[in-house]
Structure 1
Amino acid sequence: MNLSKPLEGISVLDLTRVLAGPFCTMLLCDMGANVVKVERPEGGDDSRSFSPFVGDDSAYFMSINRGKKSITLNLKTVEGKKLLERLIERFDVLVENFRPGVFERLGFSAQRLREINPRLIYTCSSGFGHSGPMSHRTAYDLIIQGLSGMMSITGPDENSPTKVGSSIADIFCGTFACIGILAALHSRNLTGKGQKVDVAMLDSMVSVLENAIA
């Protein structure tokens, strides 16, 4: 097989929205993976309504969902869940960024995903990860920039903590999730087994503070 991109032949089921998750799957798509984005029937990904617009389309949405195919599924219905199970059987990677616990309550725990597809790379990105005392807290990029200490080393002086111009916590979380997926795919080539990749925005942000963390 003559592959022009390194991830051609890899199929990714993208259940993410807004930024951290979609940024991860965008990177995979850019490397040749076939990415199918699953959106809710009413309105789809929240970022479809974010400005600026080109005609009727959000430039924000298009910039981080380029190259992906898109379908809608209502995961609150039995039919929608059955369709998702059939998709999971056929895909290499599943990426979601629901709040921890939501995907499990829908019937898709890590254990259940392994039963459906033992080779699946299940990847979740969230503010604080799927374990620990803060795991169920809501997180946004601004909150993570503040908690991690990034804002304390950004700005004109030490008394003026400042947000980094781009949503850097989301972006680094998506980047580290992508790296985790690539490592898990390599591991699967050796073992034949999938695994769970759990990436937190806070962990990602602290890891790039360089010597400031000291």
Structure 2
Amino acid sequence: MEDNKPLTGIRVLDFSRVFAGPLCTQQMADLGAEIIKIEHPERGDDTRSMRPPEIGDEATFFLAANRNKQSLALDFTKPAGADIVHALAAKCDVLVENFRKSVMLRRGLNYEAVQDRHPQLIYCSVSAYGRSSPLADLPGYDPILQAEAGLMSFSGEPGQDPLRHPLSIIDIYTSLYATQAIMGAILSRQRTGRGQFIDLALYDVALSVLTDIGSGYLNTGTEPVQRGNSRGSSVPNGLFHTKTGPVYIAVGNPGLWKKFAEGVLERPELVTDPPFNTREGRIGNRDALNALISESFAQESRDYWIEKIRRAGVPGGSVRTVAEALNAPETSARGMVAKMPHATIGDLRLVASPIKYSGTPVVNPIAPPLLGEHTDAVLTDLLDMSEGQIAKLRDTGVIR
């Protein structure tokens, strides 16, 4: 274990599966925490079977959220498995789970059942609707929460069906809030000596993602409308086609409008002459302004316009494919693709942590584990089990 990391010395018992929970514990692992990932002995994390895409026998979905972890294949529904959970909890700082409310309750592993036995434990429960919600025991996946929190209602082109974001953005945001909440609880425990319960709901997170849209409705009653790639509060802001591919620009204030009109379009009169000389004029004449820009951009290549946009200091960029983005020189310069050896794949490449510390860098990435890869090591190193005890647990199906 690297001893100069922000979370060195923090041990996490990770029951989470799929995405939000595993992304949270992966972020903690990147910062130096020791993650013991509890997986079902036969099927493991659900995402191990979510394919295609896959490489060898490994689903890339699973690979995306599980680096720097140890896999303990354990059936905690069996009494001997539950005993192992308690023994490990006594040696851990944090427990993360994202089951429905009844799952841990039935096993006697809910927070109320463990808090007295393990008062140091920070227990983070990630669920669809929250443990105190009237919908507490309902399942929920990311797109359902996007739909129910109103996010889809203003996504997509005007007059078309609402659209979900293709990425699991609520899971991703939830993982960030979960990591933040756990960090806060760790700091609090330094003062109080006690852990606490963290109740984190994807639904609550989805509502928080509304940010300025939510504030607009709550204070003015204004419902947002579908605008496709444009934005209601600033123009021009959107996608424009060039001879060789689309670009996206975001001209968010009068200073940027001046730079764009003069330095990119080479039309200084647009800064001084109505109707485009004021923000209100640009918003009120959105279609005419967008048509003017589209006509200009169609005359030259994407590279031509990107060079002018950057030289003028205007926010803008190419609308890239994933391949273009991951192979871009600035991606390489920032070290954002990490390569690591994997037991069955060989060289594995993953998107790296974006965190860049000056004094306590993130850990060198280790490939996501095979199912049960660390079962024996965890039981031996942390619980001092003998080979005979481990063999008996394996024979009775408690571990793999």
Provide the secondary structure at the position in 1 that maps to 2:99: coil
Question: Counterpart in 2 of 1:55?
Answer: 56
Amino acid at match of 2:198: V
Question: How many angstroms apart in 2 are the aligned matches of 1:43 and 1:133?
Answer: 31
Amino acid at match of 1:45: D
Alignment of 1:1-214 (within 5 A): 3-51=3-51, 52-157=53-158, 159-213=160-214, 214=217
Moved beyond 4 Å, runs of 4+: none
Identity of aligned residues (%): 40
User: Quick check: 1:88–1:116 contact (8 Å CA) kept in 2?
Assistant: no
| CA deviations over 1:50-78 (Å, ceiling 9, x no partner) | 22111111111111001100011111111
User: Quick check: 1:21–1:96 contact (8 Å CA) kept in 2?
Assistant: yes
Moved more, 183-192 or 49-58: 49-58
User: Quick check: 1:148–1:205 contact (8 Å CA) kept in 2?
Assistant: yes
Question: How many angstroms apart in 1 are the aligned matches of 2:126 and 2:10?
Answer: 20
| CA deviations over 1:100-142 (Å, ceiling 9, x no partner) | 1210111112122212211100000000000121112221111
Question: How many angstroms apart in 2 are the aligned matches of 1:29 and 1:102?
Answer: 25
Provide the secondary structure at the position in 1 that maps to 2:124: strand
Question: How many angstroms apart in 1 are the aligned matches of 2:213 and 2:160?
Answer: 16
Question: How many angstroms apart in 1 are the aligned matches of 2:159 and 2:26?
Answer: 36
Provide the secondary structure at the position in 2 that maps to 1:101: helix
Alpha-carbon distance change, 156 to 115 in structure 1, aligned in 2, over 3 angstroms: same
User: Quick check: 1:74–1:80 contact (8 Å CA) kept in 2?
Assistant: yes
Structure with greater Cα Rg: 2
Question: How many angstroms apart in 1 are the aligned matches of 2:115 and 2:159?
Answer: 48
Q: What is the total number of aligned residue pairs between the two structures?
A: 213
Q: Report the CA distance between 1:160 and its aligned residue.
A: 2.5
Q: Report the CA distance between 1:3 and its aligned residue.
A: 4.1
Amino acid at match of 1:117: H
Provide the secondary structure at the position in 1 that maps to 2:116: helix
Amino acid at match of 1:187: S
Question: How many angstroms apart in 2 are the aligned matches of 1:153 and 1:188?
Answer: 41
| CA deviations over 1:25-51 (Å, ceiling 9, x no partner) | 111111110001000111101100122
Question: How many angstroms apart in 2 are the aligned matches of 1:143 and 1:63?
Answer: 22
TM-score between the two structures when normalised by the length of structure 2? 0.52
Question: How many angstroms apart in 2 are the aligned matches of 1:18 and 1:107?
Answer: 23
Provide the secondary structure at the position in 2 that maps to 1:115: coil
Question: How many angstroms apart in 2 are the aligned matches of 1:169 and 1:153?
Answer: 16
Provide the secondary structure at the position in 1 that maps to 2:164: coil
Alpha-carbon distance change, 42 to 115 in structure 1, aligned in 2, over 3 angstroms: same
Amino acid at match of 2:30: D
Question: How many angstroms apart in 1 are the aligned matches of 2:96 and 2:159?
Answer: 38
Q: Report the CA distance between 1:158 and its aligned residue.
A: 5.4
Unaligned 5+ segments in structure 2 are 218-400
Question: How many angstroms apart in 1 are the aligned matches of 2:161 and 2:211?
Answer: 20
Question: How many angstroms apart in 2 are the aligned matches of 1:211 and 1:50?
Answer: 35
Amino acid at match of 1:66: R
